[in-house]
Structure 1
């Protein structure tokens, strides 16, 4: 595998992930590209609790305005909470919510299997299980704290 193949694989995996997410509330249809932004911010906040929007922007490379929008969406969904920074009362600190909202529980419980089957063009249980196992291994290798 070379860098281009890895990049293309990453894009396919992102598409599968987006397709696996449950429909947004209110019948709004599928998520727009902003879903990626929200997921990136949520992931960063989970790894860096009590962090300022500017710090999230610096770590993720997203514009601060997009991070603020993502934080507002996550707060509305009950996935994060904000508090005032005691050292600089002008800043808000963002942390994961202590309880899981119904919406977050729904997203976390969603299965990748239908999206994976559609991308692979098969619903063969053994093939889906093999690919899922490989993806779980990659997740453990790259997404767990070291």
Structure 2
């Protein structure tokens, strides 16, 4: 496998992941998940800082933050050193949305992508993806 193939595999996995997420009826989840991952990695960040790190437009970050705050996944507080700044961090409690996301599985979306409804084959691929995730040290906290 070369870098291009790995990149394309990553994009395919992202699409399957988006299809597996429960529908919230408000457009794509890609930017929301990128922003949430950044907030998890860098708590107490501003929208501008997140935009700079993720290379997403500030407007997309602002919209994603609004969705995450509405879902109860992100909380905001005023920066005590500069009252004009708002700092964002992951919420400490489990919102209904987070519970819904954590309860969902990738089985149906993965089956569609693989072109099969063979539960053994789907289970084998899920196990391979879980092993890869563990091996790469991806955080186990599930976003929402």
Give me the whole-angstrom Cα distance separating, in 1, the residues matched to 2:66 and 2:139.
Answer: 26
SS of 2:76's partner is strand
1:14 counterpart = 2:14 = yes
Structure 2 unaligned regions, length at least 5: none
1:90 to 84, 94, 102: 84
Greater relative contact order, per chain length (Cα 8 Å cut-off, separation 6+): 2
Q: Could you say which residue in structure 1 is the equivalent of 2:27?
A: 32
Q: Could you say which residue in structure 2 is the equivalent of 1:118?
A: 112
- Root-mean-square deviation (CA), in Å? 1.5
Give me the whole-angstrom Cα distance separating, in 2, the residues matched to 1:3 and 1:15.
Answer: 19
Q: Could you say which residue in structure 1 is the equivalent of 2:126?
A: 132
Task: Deviation per CA, 1:15-48: give whole Å up to 9, x if none.
Answer: 1001101121xxx3xx534x10001001111121
2:75 to 81, 88, 92: 81
C-alpha displacement at 1:126, in angstroms? 2.2
C-alpha displacement at 1:142, in angstroms? 4.7
SS of 2:92's partner is coil
